[in-house]
A and B are shown apart, each in its own frame.
Chain A
């Protein structure tokens, strides 16, 4: 892949004024290059500034400061030239529900300057690509969520842009449709040689699709690189998470983990106050939401806190027997263990101290 930048973002900033007069910095100055032919993911939790950034880069919002150039055309000063190179797939289903799939494609095609035979051919090709040729004359409001998403993507591809922005295109779709959308992105890059800017808060999608990833949090890019490069930032360490419930944990245990087990670089202990899930306060067993995974778990009745030991180790699975032995020697009853191999979630956690879904 050549390293020629198709998109150059410099000092992009957006501030909003609230009704009470306070100023909110949604995007705090982003610098970014997206290379031709790559799939670039903007990964971040909800509210991190992904959509605001993409809105500025597509000319929907005017930046407070900075600029983005697409193919050398400034989105603020030469918006029409820049927009010709760009296809946008918004997070929302931006379609006319009472029109057919074909009518929607034809209408938006006209706005990209297509007409006559060229428009008809483009619509046919797009319907083929999104696999909706047989449903082209059906109204969009009769479609399933996944089919609507496909038409939504089709509109962004109609004029064969060099660059496609896809803003969380898998939000609210079933697993089958999600798989189909991810495959579509892969085909766009491989078959059509398109450059894709893909925003998501799902680490798995980012990891599967992207040549490079930019991790965004609180309106700033906090890490940028290939998935491998980012994982290296957390030292390629596995995380071993020991659930120990309410048992008291001594500093001595943590010290033994770090000194006696080869490969262990760090061991921490943290407790979480347990609060019953709303609506289940009267239950005999305490039902809580596990902060790290978002899962509902049942703990012992009367338990008020949950303790977790997190151990960072180069080869986690190899270190596990020694860690369990030491815990046993120190009288700690390990309730459960999870071994987490390094991923973008770990990178985000490492950089921000928070999980992506938080």
Chain B
């Protein structure tokens, strides 16, 4: 039984991959097209950094009153994005010794300088307006600092408990990399704030314990605090960019290096052309009926379901091999352009293989379905071409899907988008492709089942 299925599948694979003209369309054309489009978009080798990520900042928090033990954490965060605010509020955040250390260490290229290059922040008052801006694609993300944020994470004598309020980062799903960078920056910053508060709490706690054990120390400490000779500088713990932001800077740089238009357009073109291939292989069922080889299979002692299974497997394997060849091709092109051998698809090989399999299933499913609804080979071919073109356009094979703004959701109807997005995520080091895998595999299986039913009902086989 398996021998017969494999015989049917292998004859399709063989006839496909021995057709020179077909190979040019399947492999060479997408490689050339994607390379041209990627070169037109620039940033080919990933050497150019991401800059000026548009971000909206909404600070609903009020600055602490003078003399209060509350640290102006929200002001510090805002100043990380907008240095002008920082300068205007120098009286609320005293950098002290840390400032000197930082300047000595990092010359002029400070973390804040880096952030101003990386981001282009706009201060807004209304969270709704900020979110609307994100929805419209004006901002990659909106950072909304809630009212009472600084107080919630400040350790004070009256309220020693720290119950932090959450900062909201509202990201644009059409710009996942940029939104992810903003989210990382905010996370790094809040971690830094908490670290600072913990430092203060533990320092004061230690002093209190020592004073209890040694009343003389306690009296001396009180005297020193009273006459001003004890001036602890905790600012280092809160200084944005001094510590955590620098770590974030490394992280962001890493992401920048992985971002490559060849990946985005290459993967989209690969899936787009795979749709054509899948349709062509699937439509061969109808074509073979015309050339009578299908009938010849039917009159052999081979159950019809095995013939269809062989055809389904052939479609899947042809597409899978095409995608594999294309991804190898894009890796070679990427390496040539960069001058070093490197995988443009990232290094999570298991995920890459999984995504190729899921994408193959989905594209083969679409191909089978478009072939099934066509009554003749010609009809199947033009239906397949239209569906492939639409999916390619919607899925970002020719332009970045972000330009669709509010209609970006439409792109979710395209398997090209799901596949391309998954590969782009893997290339940028993100591993969260679970949804892409599940969607692609499910759509593949569902369309296979529908196609099987249609073919069987029409008695094409």
Q: Do A and B come from one complex?
A: yes
Interface residues of A (CB under 8 A from B): 58-60, 79-81, 83-84, 86, 88, 90, 92-99, 107-108, 110-113, 115, 155
Instruction: Name the distance in Å between A26's Cβ and chain B's nearest Cβ.
Output: 16
Q: Is B25 an interface residue (CB 8 A)?
A: no
What is the CB-to-nearest-CB distance from B257 to chain A, in angstroms, rounded to a whole number? Answer: 46
Q: Are A93 and B292 in contact (CB under 8 A)?
A: yes
Report the count of interface residues on B (CB-CB < 8 A). 21
Q: Does B295 contact A (CB under 8 A)?
A: yes
Do residues A80 and B301 form an inter-chain contact, with CB atoms below 8 A? yes
Instruction: Evaluate contact between A112 and B301: CB separation under 8 angstroms.
Output: yes
Stretch in B3-11, B130-138, B450-458 touching the partner: B3-11
Indicate with 1 or 0, residue by residue over B61-95, a CB within 8 angstroms of chain A CB atoms.
00000000000000000000000000000000000
Q: In the complex, given contacts A108-B296, A111-B4, A111-B300, what are 10 additional A-B residue pairs having Cβ atoms less than 8 angstroms apart?
A: A60-B295, A83-B300, A83-B301, A93-B291, A94-B295, A94-B296, A96-B293, A97-B291, A110-B7, A111-B297
Answer yes or no: B298 CB below 8 A from chain A CBs: yes
Q: Is B18 in the interface zone, CB < 8 Å from A? A: yes
B15 contacts chain A at the CB level, 8 A cutoff: yes
Contact assessment for A110 and B3 in the assembled complex, using a CB-CB cutoff below 8 Å: yes
17 contacts between A and B (CB under 8 A): A59-B299, A79-B301, A80-B303, A88-B299, A90-B296, A94-B291, A94-B293, A96-B15, A96-B293, A98-B18, A99-B14, A108-B297, A111-B301, A111-B302, A112-B300, A113-B4, A115-B3
Q: What's the dominant secondary structure at chain A's contact region? A: loop
Cβ-closest chain B residue relative to A93: B292
Bound Cα distance A83, B299 (Å)? 7
> Contacting A111 at CB < 8 Å: which of B7, B291, B292?
B7
7 closest Cβ contacts across the A-B interface?
A94-B292, A110-B7, A92-B292, A111-B300, A83-B301, A94-B296, A88-B299
Chain B residues near A81 (CB-CB < 8 A): 301
Q: Quick one: closest B residue to A83, CB to CB?
A: B301
The number of inter-chain residue pairs (CB within 8 angstroms) is 63
Q: Which of the residues A86, A92, A107 comes within 8 Å of B291, measured between beta carbons?
A: A92
B158 on interface, CB distance cutoff 8 Å? no
Which residue, B291, B293, B303, has most C-beta atoms of chain A within 10 A? B293
Q: Which of chain B's residues has its CB closest to A115's CB?
A: B3
- What A residues does B11 contact at CB under 8 A? 96, 99, 107
Residue among B7, B292, B298 making CB contact with A59, cutoff 8 Å: B298
Q: Are B4 and A60 touching (Cβ within 8 A)?
A: no
Tell me if B19 counts as interface (CB < 8 A to partner A). Answer: yes
CA–CA, A84 to B300, complex, Å? 7
- Bound CA–CA A92/B295 (angstroms): 10
Please tell me which one of the listed residues A92, A97, A107, A155 contacts residue B7 in the complex, with CB atoms under 8 A apart: A107
In Å, the complex CA distance between A115 and B4 comes to 10
Q: B18–A90 contact, CB under 8 A? A: no
By a CB distance below 8 angstroms, the chain B residues around A80 are: 301, 303
| Interchain CA distance A95-B296 in the complex, whole Å | 9
Are A90 and B300 in touch, CB under 8 angstroms?
no
Contacts of A115 in B (CB 8 A): 3
* Minimum Cβ distance to chain B for residue A307 (Å): 46
Q: Of B3, B8, B15, which is within 8 A of A98 by CB?
A: B15
Interface residues of B in 1-32 (CB under 8 A from A): 3-4, 7-8, 11, 14-15, 18-19
Rounded to whole Å, the gap between the CB of A93 and the closest CB of chain B is 7
Contact A60 B299, beta carbon cutoff 8 Å: yes
Give the shortest distance, in Å, between B48 (CB) and chain A (any CB): 47
- Identify the interface centre among B3, B14, B15, B295: most chain A CB within 10 Å of its CB: B295
By beta carbon, the residue of chain B nearest A106 is B7
Shortest beta-carbon distance from A32 to chain B in Å: 19
Chain B 279-319 against A: per-residue CB contact (8 Å), 1 yes, 0 no?
Answer: 00000000000011101111111110000000000000000
- Residues of A near B15 (CB, < 8 A) are 96, 98-99
Q: Given A83-B301, A92-B291, A111-B302, is A98 in contact with B19 using a C-beta cutoff of 8 Å?
A: yes
Interface centre among B7, B15, B291, B300, by most chain A C-beta atoms within 10 angstroms, is B300
Instruction: Select from chain B the residue with minimum beta-carbon distance to A82.
Output: B301
Q: Which residues of A contact B18 (CB under 8 A)?
A: 98
- Return chain A residues, CB-CB under 8 Å to B3: 110, 115
- Minimum C-beta distance from A79 to chain B (A): 8
List of A residues within 8 angstroms of B292 by Cβ: 90, 92-94
CA distance A56 to B25 in the complex (A): 41
Q: Which residue of B lies closest to A107 (CB)?
A: B11
Which residues from B are CB-within-8-Å of A94? Answer: 291-293, 295-296
Say whether, besides A94-B291, A95-B293, A99-B15, A86 and B299 are in contact (CB < 8 Å).
yes
Given contacts A80-B303, A94-B291, whether A155 and B19 have CB atoms under 8 Å apart is: no
Chain A residues near B4 (CB, 8 Å)? Answer: 110-111, 113
Given contacts A94-B293, A96-B293, contact A113 B299 (CB under 8 A): no
In the complex, what distance in Å separates the CA atom of A47 from the CA atom of B8? 33
- Expressed in whole angstroms, the Cα–Cα distance for A95 and B292 within the complex equals 8
Counting chain A CB atoms within 10 Å of each CB, the highest count among B11, B19, B293, B296 belongs to B296
Residues of chain A with a CB closer than 8 A to B303's CB: 80
Instruction: Say yes or no: B301 contacts A84, CB within 8 Å.
Output: yes
Q: Is the CB–CB distance between A60 and B293 below 8 Å?
A: no
B461 to A: closest C-beta gap in Å? 11
Q: Could you say which residues of chain A place their CB within 8 Å of the CB of B297? A: 108, 111
Cβ < 8 Å to A, chain B residues 405-452: none
Listed residue (A84, A90, A94) with the most chain B CB atoms within 10 angstroms of its CB: A94
- Chain B min CB distance to A267 (Å): 49
CB nearest to B10 among chain A residues: A107
* A58 & B299 in contact (Cβ 8 Å cutoff): yes
- Pairwise interchain contact B298-A113, C-beta atoms closer than 8 A: no
A80 and B306 CA atoms in complex are apart in Å by 12
Interface hub of A79, A98, A111 (most chain B Cβ within 10 A)? A111
| A108 adjacent to B295 (CB under 8 Å) | no
Known: A92-B291, A96-B11. A113 touches B301 (CB 8 A): yes
